[in-house]
A and B are shown apart, each in its own frame.
Chain A
Amino acid sequence: MSHAAGAHYTSTGLDNRKVAFWTFIGSECLLFGSLIATYLVYEGRSVSGPTTHEILNIPLTSISTFDLLMSSLCMVLALAAVQRGDRVWARAWLGMTALLGTVFLGFQAYEFNAFVDEGLGLTTNLFGSTFFTLTGFHGGHVAVGVIWLVTLLIRSFQGKLEPDRALNVEIAGLYWHFVDVVWIVIFTVVYLIQTTPIEAAI
């Protein structure tokens, strides 16, 4: 199917799938804004530990943040490769993006497991409840993104991801980059800005 035949333009001249997806991303801003606000409102109000400065692992999370940033780079390179019809590099960058997303999920699973071992669960205190809810929702979005990327990779191997289908990759990329920018905010407000003096975090 050609791009012209496959596209669904609105009266604005814009493809309605892209308009719809930006609208979805806008609604996601409200979801994560609420979760971040809830975390910040309850931060430092736990009546029992463990709390942020006792448990957060900044070096480990810095690496996973770098991992997610690099996955965004791979995603735009995948889109560029699909747009110019370069199947080999499109598959390579899509695969790399999915791999880096999976590595990020591995970091998160390790972190959650370490926290549970140290006595912090979903119902332990306010910090545990808000932290696991916020980062868990984000991790769920990353997992959906990885599945989406794998389906695109499969479509590519089936020969169904040609330049006329580049919008499919662009929309998946919008989702992936949004997940990245949400983590940029979470990394700052949850991990780096803590209510406790720095001496306790080192």
Chain B
Amino acid sequence: MTMRPSTKEFSIVAPATAEHAHPTTATYLAIAVVLTVITVVEVGVFYVPAFQAVLAPVLVTLSAAKFALVVMFYMHLKTDHKLFTLIFTAPLLVAVAVVIALLFLFGVLALG
């Protein structure tokens, strides 16, 4: 007869997938340089009149890139267990959906 593992047996499972190596110091520094460059570009774009027509999409894209870099490398989601990514991105997507829905509901965004 096949025995189901007890709760205690589950609780002592080794963290085999939890202990991935974190990025190196060189990677951390490189990410910091990239974040700084993107921030400079963001502020630069803000002051260039030629970019005014596409300011919002350009800035949102640059901001999303910074957000992703920090979350993936500094918060280690790129190398950590995928469950952490799920726990974080699920409510993040809900939050983004709520923001977009409210912007449509209150007429800040409109179709067409």
Interface residues of A (CB under 8 A from B): 7, 9-15, 18-19, 22-23, 25-27, 29-30, 32-34, 36-38, 40-41, 43, 58, 62, 65-66, 69-70, 72-73, 75-77, 79-80, 83, 170, 173-174, 177-178, 180-181, 184-185, 187-189, 192-193, 197-199, 201-202
Contacts and interface: CB of A to CB of B under 8 A. Distances in A.
B70 A72 contact: yes
B3 interface: no
* Chain B CB within 10 A, most for which of A7, A9, A14, A36: A14
Given A13-B18, A14-B15, 9 more contacts: A11-B7, A13-B13, A13-B16, A14-B81, A19-B87, A33-B94, A34-B98, A79-B22, A174-B75
Interface of B: 7, 10-18, 22, 25, 28-29, 31-32, 35-36, 39, 42-43, 46-47, 49, 52, 55-56, 59-60, 62-63, 66-67, 70-71, 73-76, 81, 83-84, 87-88, 90-92, 94-96, 98-99, 102-103, 106, 108
Contacts of B32: 69-70, 72-73
6 contacts: A13-B18, A14-B15, A22-B88, A37-B102, A41-B103, A192-B42
A41 B43 CA distance: 24
A177 B91 contact: no
Given A30-B94, A34-B98, A184-B67, A80 B75 contact: no
A41 B102 contact: yes
Contacts of A199: 49
Contact of A14 (B75, B83, B108): B83
A181 B71 contact: yes
A42 B52 CA distance: 21
Given A23-B87, A37-B98, A198-B47, A180 B39 contact: no
Contacts of B13: 9, 11-13
Nearest to B107: A41
B59 A188 contact: yes
A202 B47 contact: yes
Nearest to B5: A11
Given A12-B83, A80-B25, A193-B56, A184 B103 contact: no
Q: Kindly name the residue among B16, B17, B25, B87 whose own CB sees the greatest number of chain A CB atoms within 10 A.
A: B87
Contacts of B60: 188, 193
B81 A198 contact: no
Contacts of B43: 58, 62, 192
A199 B49 CA distance: 8
Contacts of A36: 99
